[in-house]
């Protein structure tokens, strides 16, 4: 059954009526069970659509996508997958060797800390502790991803060095020293309090900053070389 | 010197934000994680807007385009929102080029009746997916773009070459057909 108001129910639901129209429809709804029923169902349709999770493809197209990406030229700062390591072949010279060793130590530290912080507790955890651990594990996953990427990038910088200008190297050394000190401090703090969400966020942020710094240097160096 | 600039901020706890940043630097594993997290919803959108033909090719087009444009994602919206809009653009453009979209119904009224009558179990997702599939083409497109992707009527009007009023009307008819699947 429909009436003259039925056509306006979707607009009402989406808050697209004028104040006057809305007030009139409110008055109608107060006395019309059919429209109230329809309105409730329309709302459920909208909620279902907003939360729609999709359906899996019959065949996974990823292998084809992966192959296509390998052939694709980059746009702006994207890099073809097959050329990742080639683009990062830069020469920074000896001063960065020390920084590289610090990175390897940091990555190892991350891996150790992730394992420690997410390891099953010896006693049954409380609900709060489980929630903290779940949240922390997401952050830790991020930090670990950063650590792996940093290690890869640093190896590329050290293994096949090109020349950057001395100012860049000096600034980079200062920045790396500052970030590495902060990372070491964060690792120490996390060793004392492995379940701290704040420290986990702080640590992940430091790792992200270091990755961003190295990536920018590598990218610039590849254009300069 | 721009070496130390462009220090884009992301939260440390959003897996999409982390993987976007890694993927932009060329990390294939990060891009694959993004793909697996979002492919099902993109597949659903593509199936509703394109039909079954060329679905694999369309998905491939979408994710290649995502790869190419990933550096333009600045985090002002959720990654999923950005992705769905980009996917919709790719899908609709592909459909324009193809122009062989299968006519799925004998007419709008018949399709709306069929969508409303196909109910088997209230609220069951698979039935609703089939019901959306059975909607008349324009109603289905508007419903998907508005209620699933989140476009406004004015944006849908631009995308589909219809008026905003027609978009509102089609959305209402689609929702009314689908409401049969829900108990109050």
CATH number, position A220:
1.20.1410
On the question of pLDDT at A151 being above 60, the answer is: yes
Of A50, A57, A138, the CB nearest to B13: A138
User: Is the domain of B117 the same as that of B177?
Assistant: yes
On the question of pLDDT at B11 being above 70, the answer is: no
Q: Exposure of A137 by Cβ count < 10 A (0-12 exposed, 13-18 middle, 19+ buried)?
A: middle
pLDDT at A191: 73
User: Is the domain of A20 the same as that of A127?
Assistant: no
- For residue B157 the two structure tokens come to 């009007």
Counted domains in chain A: 2
pLDDT at B122: 47
Region A162-166: mean pLDDT is 60
Q: Does residue A175 sit within a domain?
A: yes
pLDDT at B124: 53
pLDDT at B110: 54
Choosing from B98, B124, B156, the residue where a domain stops is B98
User: Is the domain of A40 the same as that of A104?
Assistant: no
Choosing from B98, B123, B141, the residue where a domain stops is B98
- Does the beta carbon of A102 lie under 8 angstroms from any beta carbon of chain B? no
Region A149-168: mean pLDDT is 62
A149, B27 in Cβ contact below 8 A?
yes
pLDDT at A172: 72
Q: How far is B99 from chain A (nearest CA, A)?
A: 23
Q: Does residue A81 sit within a domain?
A: no
CA distances from A49 to A34, A175, B154 (A): 23, 48, 19
The model's pLDDT over B146-159, given as tens digits with 9 standing for 90+, comes to 999 999 999 999 99
On the question of pLDDT at B3 being above 50, the answer is: no
Q: Does residue A20 sit within a domain?
A: yes
On the question of pLDDT at B87 being above 60, the answer is: yes
Q: How far is B106 from chain A (nearest CA, A)?
A: 24
pLDDT at A184: 78
Q: Does residue B23 sit within a domain?
A: yes
Choosing from B78, B98, B118, the residue where a domain stops is B98
Average pLDDT, chain B: 82
**Whole-prediction pTM value?**
0.57
Q: Does residue A45 sit within a domain?
A: yes
Q: The CATH number of the domain where B167 resides is what?
A: 1.10.10.10
The model's pLDDT over A64-119, given as tens digits with 9 standing for 90+, comes to 998 888 765 445 444 444 444 344 333 334 444 444 444 545 555 555 555 555 44
Tell me which residue range forms the domain holding B42.
15-98
Q: Does residue B35 sit within a domain?
A: yes
d(CA B181, CA B118) in angstroms, rounded, equals 9
pLDDT at A76: 44
- Does the beta carbon of A40 lie under 8 angstroms from any beta carbon of chain B? yes
Q: Does residue A72 sit within a domain?
A: no
User: Is the domain of B115 the same as that of B88?
Assistant: no
d(CA B54, CA B36) in angstroms, rounded, equals 20
Tell me which residue range forms the domain holding A46.
6-50
Q: Does residue B149 sit within a domain?
A: yes
State which residue of chain A sits closest to B182, comparing Cα positions. Answer: A41
Counted domains in chain B: 2
Tell me A72's DSSP state. P
Q: How far is A124 from chain B (nearest CA, A)?
A: 25
- Taking only residues 161 to 220 of chain A, the set having a beta carbon closer than 8 angstroms to any beta carbon of chain B reads 167-168, 171-172, 175, 200-201, 203-205, 208-209, 211-213, 215-217, 220
Q: Does residue B120 sit within a domain?
A: yes
User: Is the domain of B86 the same as that of B146?
Assistant: no
User: Is the domain of B72 the same as that of B145?
Assistant: no
d(CA B73, CA B83) in angstroms, rounded, equals 9
User: Is the domain of A135 the same as that of A29?
Assistant: no
A80-94, B66-80, B125-139: the lowest-pLDDT one: A80-94
- For residue A34 the two structure tokens come to 């059919």
Q: Does residue B103 sit within a domain?
A: no
A23-32, A68-77, B67-76, B79-88: the lowest-pLDDT one: A68-77
Region B7-15: mean pLDDT is 55
User: Is the domain of B23 the same as that of B73?
Assistant: yes
Q: Does residue A177 sit within a domain?
A: yes
Average pLDDT, chain A: 69
Q: Does residue A1 sit within a domain?
A: no
pLDDT at B105: 46
- Does the beta carbon of A86 lie under 8 angstroms from any beta carbon of chain B? no
DSSP assignment of B9-55 equals ---SS-HHHHHHHHHHTT-HHHHHHHHHHHHHHHHHHHHHHH-STTH
CA distances from A30 to A8, A12, A97, B164 (A): 15, 14, 76, 29
The model's pLDDT over A175-202, given as tens digits with 9 standing for 90+, comes to 777 778 788 777 777 777 766 777 777 7
């Amino acid at each position: 059954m429909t009436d003259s108001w039925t056509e306006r129910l979707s607009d009402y639901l989406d808050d697209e009526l004028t104040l006057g129209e809305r007030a009139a429809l409110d008055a109608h709804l107060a006395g019309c069970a059919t429209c109230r029923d329809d309105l409730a169902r329309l709302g459920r349709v909208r909620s279902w659509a907003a939360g729609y999770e999709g359906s899996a493809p019959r065949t996974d197209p990823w292998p084809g996508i992966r192959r296509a990406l390998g052939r694709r030229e980059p746009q702006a700062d994207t890099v073809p997958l097959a050329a990742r390591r080639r683009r990062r072949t830069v020469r920074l010279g000896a001063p960065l060797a020390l920084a590289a060793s610090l990175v390897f130590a940091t990555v190892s530290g991350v891996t150790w800390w992730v394992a420690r912080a997410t390891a099953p507790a010896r006693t049954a955890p409380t609900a709060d502790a489980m929630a903290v651990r779940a949240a922390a594990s997401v952050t830790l996953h991020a930090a670990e991803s950063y650590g792996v990427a940093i290690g890869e990038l640093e190896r590329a910088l050290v293994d096949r060095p090109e020349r950057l200008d001395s100012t860049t190297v000096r600034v980079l050394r200062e920045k790396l020293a500052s970030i590495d000190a902060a990372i070491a401090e964060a690792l120490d703090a996390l060793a004392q309090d492995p379940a701290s969400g704040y420290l986990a966020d702080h640590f992940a942020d430091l790792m992200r900053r270091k990755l961003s710094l190295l990536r920018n240097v590598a990218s610039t160096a590849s254009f300069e070389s | 010197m721009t070496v130390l600039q462009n220090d884009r901020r992301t939260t440390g706890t959003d897996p999409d934000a982390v993987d976007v940043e890694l993927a932009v630097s060329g990390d294939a594993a990060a891009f694959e994680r993004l793909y697996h997290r979002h492919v099902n919803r993109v597949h659903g959108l593509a199936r509703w807007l394109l039909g079954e033909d060329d679905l694999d090719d369309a998905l491939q087009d979408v994710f290649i385009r995502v790869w190419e444009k990933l550096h333009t994602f600045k985090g002002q919206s959720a990654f999923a929102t950005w992705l769905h809009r980009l996917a919709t653009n790719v899908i609709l453009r592909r459909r324009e080029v193809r122009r062989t979209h299968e006519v799925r119904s004998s007419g709008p009224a018949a399709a709306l009746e069929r969508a409303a009558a196909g109910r088997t179990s209230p609220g069951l997702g698979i039935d609703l997916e089939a019901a959306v599939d059975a909607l008349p083409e324009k109603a289905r497109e508007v419903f998907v773009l508005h209620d699933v992707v989140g476009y406004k009527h004015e944006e849908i009007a631009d995308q589909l070459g219809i008026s905003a009023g027609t978009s509102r009307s089609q959305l209402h008819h689609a929702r009314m057909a689908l409401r049969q699947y829900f108990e109050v």
